C-alpha cells in the first residue's frame, strides 16, 4: 500500500540522487580549477558531498523498497532524468532546447503510465 511515508522515502531517494548529480557537476568544476589528485579530488568538498548524497539516496531507496514493490517504486526514479537537467539549467545556465522539453514530457508520461499499470495487492 502506498502511504505518505513511502512517498516521502521515495522523494528522498529522488532528491538525494538528483543532488548527487548536481554535486558531481560542482565537483568537476572544482577539480578543473584545482589541478592535481590531492586538491582536485581528495580535498574536493563537492565530491564528498556527492558521495554522501549518493549514500543517503541508497539508504532512502532501501527503506522505500521495504514498503513498496519494485515495480511501483522504480518508475518514479526516472524523475531524476527530469530534475537533474532542470537543476543544470537553473544552477549552471545550461540550455535545454525544445527537443529536450519533449523528452521530459515523454519521461513524465512514461512515469504516469507505468505507475498506474501495477497493483500493490
Task: Provide the residue ranges of all domains of the chain, joining segments of one domain with +.
Answer: 4-115
Q: 36-78: per-residue pLDDT in tens? A: 888 888 899 999 999 999 999 999 999 999 999 998 999 999 9
Q: How many beta carbons lie within 10 A of that of residue 118, not counting itself?
A: 15
- pLDDT for 117: 67
Average pLDDT of the residues in 13-38: 95
Residue 51 — φ and ψ, nearest 5°? -65, -40
pLDDT score recorded for residue 79? 96
pLDDT value at residue 40: 82
Predicted pLDDT at 115: 80
pLDDT, position 2: 85
The pLDDT tens digits of the residues spanning 1-22 come to: 789 999 999 999 999 999 999 9
pLDDT score, position 39: 82
Question: What is residue 81's three-state secondary structure?
Answer: helix
Q: How confident is the model at residue 121 (pLDDT cuts 50, 70, 90)?
A: low
pTM attached to this predicted model: 0.90
Q: What is the mean pLDDT of residues 76-102?
A: 96
Which residues, including other chains, have CB under 8 Å from residue 30's CB and lie 6 or more apart?
A: 40, 44, 45, 46, 47
Amino acid at each position: 500500500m502506498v502511504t505518505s511515508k513511502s512517498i516521502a522515502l521515495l522523494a528522498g531517494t529522488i532528491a538525494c540522487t538528483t543532488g548527487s548529480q548536481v554535486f558531481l557537476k560542482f565537483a568537476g568544476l572544482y577539480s578543473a580549477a584545482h589541478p592535481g589528485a590531492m586538491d582536485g579530488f581528495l580535498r574536493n568538498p563537492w565530491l564528498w558531498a556527492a558521495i554522501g548524497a549518493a549514500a543517503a539516496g541508497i539508504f532512502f531507496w532501501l527503506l522505500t523498497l521495504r514498503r513498496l514493490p519494485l515495480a511501483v517504486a522504480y518508475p518514479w526514479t526516472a524523475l531524476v532524468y527530469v530534475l537533474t537537467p532542470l537543476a543544470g539549467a537553473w544552477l549552471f545556465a545550461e540550455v535545454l532546447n525544445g527537443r529536450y522539453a519533449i523528452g521530459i514530457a515523454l519521461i513524465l508520461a512514461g512515469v504516469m503510465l507505468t505507475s498506474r499499470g501495477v497493483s500493490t495487492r
